[in-house]
Structure 1
Amino acid sequence: MNHLQGIHHVAYRCRDAKETVDFYHNVLGMTFVIAFAEDHVPSTGEYDPYMHVFLDAGGGNVLAFFELPQQPEMGRDPNTPEWVQHIAFKVDSEDALLAGKARAEAAGCEVIGPTDHGIFRSIYFFDPNGHRLELACDIGTDQEITELRRVAPDMLEEWSRTKKAPRHADWLHAKARASHRSQT
C-alpha cells in the first residue's frame, strides 16, 4: 500500500449547494474552491444529476458536499444519537472559539458550549443540512497528551472487555470539572 498523505476531502450530502456554501463561508470563513456538476455518476455511470462543491477548511483540508435533487429527501441514521456524527474544526485559541460562537449565534444557530473536555474546549451547532459541527481549541499540555497516548491502548482493551468507561484518565475529567466550577 502506498503511504497515505492525509485526507483528500471528506464529503457529505446537502439539501442546497448554494445555501451550504454561503453558510460555510459566512459562518466559518471557508473559501469555496471547486464545483463539479454531472448528470451521470463517473464511478458507476448511473444517471443521478448532482452538484459537488468543495470548501477550503484550512491546513490543506477540504470539506465537500453533494446536492442530489433527484434522490429522496436526506435524513440521518435514526439509531445514532445526533451528537455522535459531527465534523470538528480546530481553531487556534479560546478567543477564536468564542468568536466562532458569536458568529454562529449571529447567523441564527443555537450553540452549545464552550464545553471543557480537559485537553480541549468546544462549541457545537448545526449547519442548515442538520450536520452537527464542532469548533475546538486545544488546551492540553504536552505532558497530558503524552499521558493520554500512553494509556490509550489499555483504555481501549478495557473498554473492549467491559463496555464501561475505563478510569485510566479520571484526572482529565476532574480537570474539566474543576475548570467548569471556576467559570460558574
Structure 2
Amino acid sequence: MSQHPTGVHHLAFMATDIKKHIAFFSEVMGCPLVAIFDMHGVPGALHAFLKMNDHSYFSIVQTPAVADAPIVVGHTHAGTGGGASAAGTLQHLAFGVDSEADLIAMRDRIRSHGVNVIGPIDHGMCKSIYFAGPDQMTLEVATSDAPVDPDLWIDPAVLEKAGISEAEAARFRAPADYAGPSPVPQPPYDPAKPHMTYPKEVYLKMLAIPDEAMTAGASYAEPPVKAKTPA
C-alpha cells in the first residue's frame, strides 16, 4: 500500500472555450479526448478529460463565470517559465516524454501547428521545450534519462535561502511512513489550516457529514452514455 502519491491522475484547467482547449491538447499535443460531460455537482459547468496514459489525464473545465475572471499576466498567470504569478497558482506545467527523441518529435509536432516552441534546453536533471497554450497557459515538455539524485540536486545554499534547516531537509528527503490508525475522523475545524473556499456555514456542514454519507450522497458513478449490449 503506497503512503504517498504515485503520480498525477489529472490536472484541471479552466477554459473560456472548452472546444478550443480540447482541439489544442488533442490535435497539437496528441492527447486523445476520452470524456466530456456535465461537471458533477456544478450546474452549468462542462468537464473534459484528455488521455496522457491509462493512469494520467489532462482535464478542462468550463463554467459560466469563467469569462468574468480576467487573465492578468503577473497575477493570475506567469506568462513565461520564469515569470511570477500569485501564490497558490500554477506557475507552469511540464508534460513528460520518455526520451530525447520523443522530445524533439513533440517540438516538431507542436511547431507543425504554427505554435512557436523554444528549446530543447538542457537543465541537467531534464531536457525541456517551452511554449504557450490557450488562455495564456505556460507549458513545457520534459524528459529525464534517470531519476533525480537528491545528493546532487539539493543545494545547501538554497536550503538556507528557503529557511530549511539540515534537520528539516533530512525529514523532507525521507518522509516518515504513516502507521495508522485508519479511518481517521474528520479533525475539528482549524482556521490556521488550509481550507476550500465554500461559504463557511456550508463548509462546516460538509465537514460534519460522515464519510460514508458523503460518498453515498455526492457520488456520480454512472457514465453519461449507456454501454452497448452485445447483439
| TM-score (normalised: structure 2) | 0.56
Listed as ranges, the matches of 1:15-30 within 5 Å are 15-30=16-31
Q: Please state how far the C-alpha of 1:156 moved relative to its aligned partner.
A: 5.0
Q: Please state how far the C-alpha of 1:120 moved relative to its aligned partner.
A: 1.0
Contact in 2 for aligned 1:50/1:66 (Cα 8 Å): yes
Change (3 A) 1:23 1:136: same
Distance in 1, Cα, partners of 2:21 & 2:115: 14
SS at match of 2:162: helix
Amino acid at match of 1:51: L
User: Which of the pair has the greater relative contact order for Cα pairs under 8 Å at 6+ separation?
Assistant: 1
Query: Counterpart of 1:105?
Result: 111
Q: Please state how far the C-alpha of 1:70 moved relative to its aligned partner.
A: 3.9
Query: Counterpart of 2:47?
Result: 52
Amino acid at match of 1:61: S
Q: Please state how far the C-alpha of 1:75 moved relative to its aligned partner.
A: 1.4
Does residue 81 of structure 1 match 2:78? yes
Percent same amino acid among aligned pairs? 28
Contact in 2 for aligned 1:31/1:56 (Cα 8 Å): yes
The structure carrying a bigger strand percent of its residues is 1
| Aligned residue among 140, 156, 159 for 1:157 | 159
Query: Counterpart of 1:66?
Result: 61
Amino acid at match of 1:68: T
Q: Please state how far the C-alpha of 1:59 moved relative to its aligned partner.
A: 5.5
| Aligned residue among 138, 147, 157 for 1:132 | 138
**Unpaired stretches in structure 2, ≥5 consecutive residues:** 82-90, 165-231
| TM-score (normalised: structure 1) | 0.69
Deviates more, 1:64-73 or 1:116-125: 64-73
RMSD over aligned Cα atoms:
2.8
Higher-Rg member (1/2): 2
**Unpaired stretches in structure 1, ≥5 consecutive residues:** 163-184
Deviations 1:77-116 (A, max 9, x none): 5346322411111111111111111111111111111111
Deviates more, 1:116-125 or 1:75-84: 75-84
Distance in 1, Cα, partners of 2:162 & 2:150: 22
Q: Please state how far the C-alpha of 1:159 moved relative to its aligned partner.
A: 2.0
Amino acid at match of 1:160: A
Distance in 2, Cα, partners of 1:93 & 1:11: 26
The structure carrying a bigger helix percent of its residues is 1
Distance in 1, Cα, partners of 2:157 & 2:13: 31
Distance in 2, Cα, partners of 1:34 & 1:86: 24
Distance in 2, Cα, partners of 1:9 & 1:81: 21
Amino acid at match of 2:13: Y
Contact in 2 for aligned 1:13/1:74 (Cα 8 Å): no
Q: Please state how far the C-alpha of 1:125 moved relative to its aligned partner.
A: 0.7
Question: How many residue pairs end up in the alignment?
Answer: 151
Query: Counterpart of 1:121?
Result: 127
Deviations 1:2-35 (A, max 9, x none): 9455433221111211121121111221111111
